[in-house]
Amino acid sequence: MIPMDHYRSTAHELLEKISAGQASARDIEESLKARISQTDPRVKAYVRLAEQNSSDCAGVATKSGPLAGIPIAVKDNICTEGIETGCCSKILGGFKPPYDATVITRLRAAGASIIPSKLNMDEFAFGSSTENSCFGPTHNPWDLGRVPGGSSGGSAAAVAADEAIMALGSDTGGSIRQPAAFCGVVGLKPTYGRVSRYGLIAFASSLDQIGPLTKDVHDACLLMNVIAGPDPMDSTSCSSQPPDYTRSLVQDVKGLSIGIPKEYFVEGMDPEVKEIVREAIKKIESLGAKTKEVSLPHTQYAVPVYYIIATAEASSNLARFDGVQYGLRSSDKRQITGSKLIDMYKHTRGEGFGPEAKRRILLGTFALSHGYYDAYYLRALKVRTLIWRDFKNVFEECDCLLTPTTPTPAFNIGEKTDDPLQMYLSDVLTISANLAGIPAISIPCGFTRAGLPVGMQMLAPAFKEETLFKAAFTYEQATPWHTMKPKL
């Protein structure tokens, strides 16, 4: 009789069970498959849900490696050979990559199995709610009427609902951390260049990073140990070897200097979120950390700077999707090949991209257009440098920063779809880390009176993920929040 509760466990707990002969890769797979069948019709974290291949997972049990026997769920913008990968967009319908992303290659080499179904997301990672998917929205496991955040909403919801042991997401302006906060799980945006972007379908190439969404900090360390490191296939990856992140799993923040940026407790922030994060600050102080108020004066410009740079890069990256070699091609009878090739492009892109993708392509193309490049894009790059300098100056006087991850808890599905500006402001506290290229983590720090999770964000200097892991692990182990589960 297979124990059917393996899906509840963390990866490090399952590795101990496998080592002790109390579980096998097949046991874990069957348990997870049953859980997904039971809950995903309501959560809708997965798209193109496929049957797991038991023989493949059984083969994993014979392999050695730090994640042997552990199934990994993957966001729909990370390439997996032979497994459909479409960024939850109609324009990439039917596309099966002929290669694995570097992170997938490394996971397979570490003995992990890749779940052959992808996790839901906002189309091309354009959004903060996973409502911009051609498959429809994912539902927050804590309240099925609310969003899970975005764009990695499927990844966060799957981990929170115990439909995944661990998951990969991507973060361009908060797309790992914001859904992690909304769903009560751990989400890390690594330093830009720490994890290879080869095989990640690009949104904004100077901002994108792949990272883990996990049930606790220990699992995030395990996953980072496998996926981080230099990659000759990615010219922006850092050439230095990463440390063993599990060495950061030490409960000790005595003497750690933590800055509290005054600009991150913004006007209009939900009072409960502010109160819960303030209590988290008191808790980490009681564990021995020293806190001080600091200032990041250019924070107010982060949202407009981000939505110029990110949309400009998106319009450039998405120009390749034209219906010629793969994905959707319009069947509109008005298009004629040859001299009317431009009509085929127009109809294909018109049918294939959703409203938010079109909005961002138009914004980005405008920002890069003749006569506006200097006024918008070039100026945004200069202000980005000022934001980076703010962090550089602050980190000369403190080891890391602590802020809320989001200004509100998860909002209702449909609440912000008619107001793009309000949706964009959902990322106001996460965007700056991407602009500066620094690592940031979100961990659960409490619940609202309505039972919704609240996330606490910590930020550190570039390539100082160990500082984040140590501080986050110390707080996590002294609090119960990461052990709480939604009632599905």
Q: Which domains does the chain have, with CATH numbers?
A: 8-263+270-295+393-483 (3.90.1300.10)
Neighbours of 285 (CB within 10 A): 13
Which secondary structure element, helix H or strand E, spans residue 458, and what is its range?
strand 453-459
> What is residue 47's three-state secondary structure?
strand
Range with the poorest average pLDDT among 124-138, 285-299, 419-433, 469-483 = 419-433
The end-to-end CA distance of the chain, in Å, is: 24
Helices 217-227 & 11-19 angle (0-180, nearest 10): 80
Catalytic residue, candidates 17, 75, 90, 470: 75
pTM (two decimals): 0.96
Res 163: pLDDT: 98
Percent of the chain with pLDDT over 70: 95
Res 45: pLDDT: 98
> What are the tokens at 93?
């319908």
Q: Please say if 75 is a catalytic residue.
A: yes
Confidence of residue 341 (pLDDT cuts 50, 70, 90): confident
Q: Please say if 316 is a catalytic residue.
A: no
Confidence of residue 473 (pLDDT cuts 50, 70, 90): very high
Catalytic residue, candidates 31, 129, 170, 175: 175
Closest CA relative to residue 249, chosen from 487, 472, 479, 481: 472
CA distance 51 to 46: 12
**Mean pLDDT to the nearest integer, 431-437:** 98
Q: What is the mean pLDDT of the chain?
A: 94
Catalytic residue, candidates 9, 89, 113, 151: 151
DSSP 8-state symbol, 376: I
CA distance 74 to 184: 19
**Mean pLDDT to the nearest integer, 98-109:** 98
Q: Please say if 151 is a catalytic residue.
A: yes
Confidence of residue 1 (pLDDT cuts 50, 70, 90): very low
Contacts by 418-426 with C-beta closer than 8 Å and gap 24+? 420/356, 420/359, 423/127, 423/128, 423/129, 424/128, 424/303, 424/307, 425/303, 426/128, 426/129, 426/149, 426/174, 426/178
Is residue 123 within 8 Å of residue 132, measured between CB atoms? yes
Helices and strands in the chain, H and E counts:
15, 11
Which residues lie across from 403 on neighbouring strands?
457
Burial of residue 433 (number of CB atoms within 10 Å: 0-12, 13-18, 19+): buried
**Mean pLDDT to the nearest integer, 23-44:** 96
Which residues lie across from 459 on neighbouring strands?
401, 440
Range with the poorest average pLDDT among 11-25, 46-60, 84-98, 202-216 = 46-60
Range with the poorest average pLDDT among 53-57, 296-300, 301-305, 375-379 = 53-57
pLDDT at 152 over 90: yes
Non-local (6+) Cβ contacts of 421 within 8 A are none
Q: What is the dihedral of CA 366, 371, 374, 376, to 10 degrees?
A: -30
Is residue 104 within 8 Å of residue 114, measured between CB atoms? yes
Q: Count CA atoms within 13 Å of residue 322 on its CB side.
A: 12
